[in-house]
Structure 1
């Protein structure tokens, strides 16, 4: 089954992906990446690989595998 994978170093913390995930599999974290942006995490157990996060992300953070 397909799953979303996040490259947290590309994330700028816009959180658009959190709002579009139908399964609430994308979790905002208070951790920051090397650029100082708050990141998100994909809960692989909840992710259905729909690609909504991939489609909305302006920074190409997500890949679907």
Structure 2
């Protein structure tokens, strides 16, 4: 059985920086940007540790605006 790796894609322009995804992530690999903001002036979420995501989708489930999509990639 192969191992899966998750890839998180955040729609930066729709993200309002509510921080729910950051709190929901069991692996603590998401954070709000500190210096960058989107066109609306919000600090958006981003994946800060690229290779640790297991694709659990907790972040995408709690996002109230549906800004997060999680893809699973099978590692060989």
Residue 2 of structure 1 deviates from its aligned partner by 3.2
Q: Which runs of 4+ in 1 moved over 6 A?
A: none
Residue 19 of structure 1 deviates from its aligned partner by 0.4
The alignment yields a C-alpha RMSD, in angstroms, of: 1.1
Q: Output the TM-score relative to the length of structure 1.
A: 0.88
Count of aligned residue pairs for this structure pair: 65
Pick from 51, 55, 73 the counterpart of residue 45 of structure 1: 51
Q: Say yes or no: does 1:61 pair with 2:74.
A: no
Q: Say yes or no: does 1:35 pair with 2:40.
A: yes
Corresponding residue for residue 12 of structure 1? 16
Residue-by-residue CA offset, 1:5-41 (whole Å, 9 max, x unaligned)? 1111110010000001011010121221011111111
Q: Output the TM-score relative to the length of structure 2.
A: 0.77
Structure 2 regions of 5+ residues with no counterpart? Answer: 72-76
- Which of 1 and 2 has greater Rg? 2
